Structure 1
Amino acid sequence: MSPARRVAAWTTAALAALAMGVASPTPAAADPSTPATYPAASSATRVSALFFDTCTAPSLTGLAAWKGRSPYAGVNIYFGGRNRACTQPNLTAAWVRSATAGGWFLVPTYMGDQPFCIFGTKTYRFTAATAAARGAADGADAVAKARALGLLPGSALYADVEHYDRAAAGCTTAVRTYVSEWTRALHRSGYLAGVYAHQDSGVRDLAASYLSTTLARPDAIWMARWDNVATTVNWPTAGNGLWAEWQRAKQYRGDHNETWGGVTMNIDSDIIRGPVATVARPYRVTSSGSLNVRSGPSSAYPIIGSLASGSTVSVICQARGQLVGTTSVWDRISTGGYVSDRYVSTPSTTTFSAPLQRCSYPGQITIGTPVNTRTGPGTTYAVNGSLQGGALAYVACQKAGTLVASTRVWNQLVGGRWVSDYYVSNMSNTTYSAPVPGCP
């Protein structure tokens, strides 16, 4: 489908379905799957690996010593919050770029206000009456601080909610309200909302409100359970059907020292299969002349700029598009436009290049029951899996297919499966949702 035709809206089939006596599928009515509206220069990044968290961001020398010697591929960063305990002499935008260039993924962690019923002594706390305002304020501050560090929209930012007394009157309500407003604030700016919580307090309470129609559901959960079992499944207080699609992390070992490459750090150990920070990576333009920047991954899209030969270009992610020379890969750059990967110094000239991610724009599944995924964009294609209610659909591109309720739009997910856009929380359930590109 041409870029021009992609802007056309599709008419609803609900009345026709009712007239035929067929009940149309109905998405969830309210807020569990608050849509995230993504800016053009954005993408999610997801990983499956071990990482460690430590109070102060390590020196780049320390990270270099641990790289390839330790079992860890990522590190958390406490990037903000009124209750952040440690100074951060290393944590700058330059450090973020260098740590990422050194092969580390980042798990941004925000130590904001804590529940009034916390087991601990944190100074700044919220009550049931102030939880909504504090959640919104912390979310807005987290977005501002993330942007200052170069953590792009599509990144997951994790609110640290420490262990608390669930028996205290109003405590559970306060936590759920805070997390809901944190989630809404991040979604308004195109970020994914994560939460770090104890298995016996925050995880338990957020799992119990997972299908609420009045509270915004966080996109990812990071559980603290120090049992030395590195797994993202079979948790005692959150069943495997909750946060089921690249949406989980676990802190499985608490404070201890580890030494790698002659450098000792005091850390917690973690495992993740979920979203982390998105950071642009620098490459060189290799074309002989100026390189056109287009609004989509094909020469059919309008030219919106150009890059000089030999110049540095910041690449966010990669998408499938028009074949150019030996590759159909296109690079989404920091301006939001696309350039053919044939003319960029990424490691591969034929396919996707690690550590760059596939461009994706996740939305939650909006109903409480599983939704089938298929081998193509329509209900006539074979079922090849399902997505649980509330799961993140990591959308790579969109294409017209079988009419489902109010839309013919289907989403191809990272990994190749297809799901009707009607069940995915994004900007529209009737037409295409920018900045998701069309599928080639």
Structure 2
Amino acid sequence: MIIRQRLRRTAIALATATIVPLGLLATSTAADAATTTYKGRITEGVNARSAPTSASTKVGSYAKGATITIQCKVYGPAVSGNSLWYKVANGRWVSARYVANIGAAPRFCGDGKEYTGRVASSTALAVRSGPSTANAKVSSIPRGAQMSIVCKVDAQNVDGNRRWYQLTGDGGGQWVSARYVTNVGAAPPYC
């Protein structure tokens, strides 16, 4: 009887010791996902941009063969058929068209949540393929309608506001100027 009680206590102690660390491991893994970095190799010389669009300011370049550290990716204007843009560890952006992933492909930017905004313009709001009025208009959202937002970047200034919001959607890139959006609840994080 005493041996059974000791075995039962030992089994409970071991089960508890095993469960607690696994729970902590799962929590830290989810938190670490947002700070994980990825590697890529430049396949041909590429310009680095201040925002995920060729219409933004050139802020540097990378030579063929250079290894870069990537934080995350967003959809934007397609470059030779590739609509992904990588945010490099220094905050610059490069078209994924010119990067070969080393290991896992980068995660999408944002914190995995959707944020809500409402069109605050007097007319329908243009949805663009990238964060600039130089990028193609891909659709529009009616005045007063709500939209789901993933994250934001600072890009082209529109009437005193440099923020652009990336919307949830397909791989063609969907961006709107924050100048014409009112947040409903919390503001989205930076991409």
| TM-score, structure 2 normalization | 0.53
Render the CA deviation track for 1:233-280: whole Å, top value 9, x for unaligned.
xxxxxxxxxxxxxxxxxxxx84228xxxxxxxx8333666x9522122
**Residues 1:415 and 1:298: Cα distance change in structure 2 (over 3 Å):** closer
1:155-304 to structure 2, matched below 5 A, reads: 254-256=16-18, 267-269=21-23, 276-277=31-32, 278-287=35-44, 290-304=45-59
1:324 alignment partner AA:
V
1:422 alignment partner AA:
N
Which of 83, 89, 96 does residue 341 from structure 1 map onto? 96
Render the CA deviation track for 1:51-86: whole Å, top value 9, x for unaligned.
xxxxxxxxxxxxxxxxxxxxxxxxxxxxxxxxxxxx
Question: Partners of 2:154 and 2:90 in 1: how far apart?
Answer: 21
1:6-45 to structure 2, matched below 5 A, reads: none
Question: Partners of 1:267 and 1:275 in 2: how far apart?
Answer: 14
Question: Partners of 1:312 and 1:345 in 2: how far apart?
Answer: 9
Which structure 1 segments of 5+ residues have no match?
Answer: 1-252, 258-265, 348-352, 366-370, 386-392, 400-406, 428-432
Question: For the Cα contact (< 8 Å) 2:117–2:182, is it kept in 1?
Answer: no
1:358 alignment partner AA:
F
Render the CA deviation track for 1:258-303: whole Å, top value 9, x for unaligned.
xxxxxxxx8333666x95221221111111xx32111111221111
Render the CA deviation track for 1:310-360: whole Å, top value 9, x for unaligned.
01011111112221112011111011111111110028xxxxx96412222
Which of 99, 102, 107 does residue 357 from structure 1 map onto? 107
Which structure 2 segments of 5+ residues have no match?
Answer: 1-14, 120-138, 156-160
Question: For the Cα contact (< 8 Å) 2:72–2:106, is it kept in 1?
Answer: yes
Render the CA deviation track for 1:78-110: whole Å, top value 9, x for unaligned.
xxxxxxxxxxxxxxxxxxxxxxxxxxxxxxxxx
Question: For the Cα contact (< 8 Å) 1:320–1:328, is it kept in 2?
Answer: yes
Question: Partners of 2:154 and 2:142 in 1: how far apart?
Answer: 12
Q: What SS class does the counterpart of residue 336 from structure 1 fall into?
A: coil
2:66 alignment partner AA:
S
Question: Partners of 1:354 and 1:376 in 2: how far apart?
Answer: 34
1:423-434 to structure 2, matched below 5 A, reads: 423-426=184-187
Give 1 or 2: higher strand fraction.
Answer: 2
Question: Partners of 1:339 and 1:425 in 2: how far apart?
Answer: 29
1:360 alignment partner AA:
G
Cα-Cα RMSD: 4.6
Q: Which residue of 2 aligns with 1:250?
A: none
Identity %: 22
Question: Partners of 1:345 and 1:327 in 2: how far apart?
Answer: 12
Which of 422, 427, 434 does residue 183 from structure 2 map onto? 422
Q: Which residue of 2 aligns with 1:328?
A: 83
**Residues 1:413 and 1:396: Cα distance change in structure 2 (over 3 Å):** farther
Question: Partners of 1:373 and 1:304 in 2: how far apart?
Answer: 32
Q: What SS class does the counterpart of residue 268 from structure 1 fall into?
A: helix
Question: Partners of 1:377 and 1:254 in 2: how far apart?
Answer: 52
How many residue pairs are counted as aligned between the two chains?
A: 141
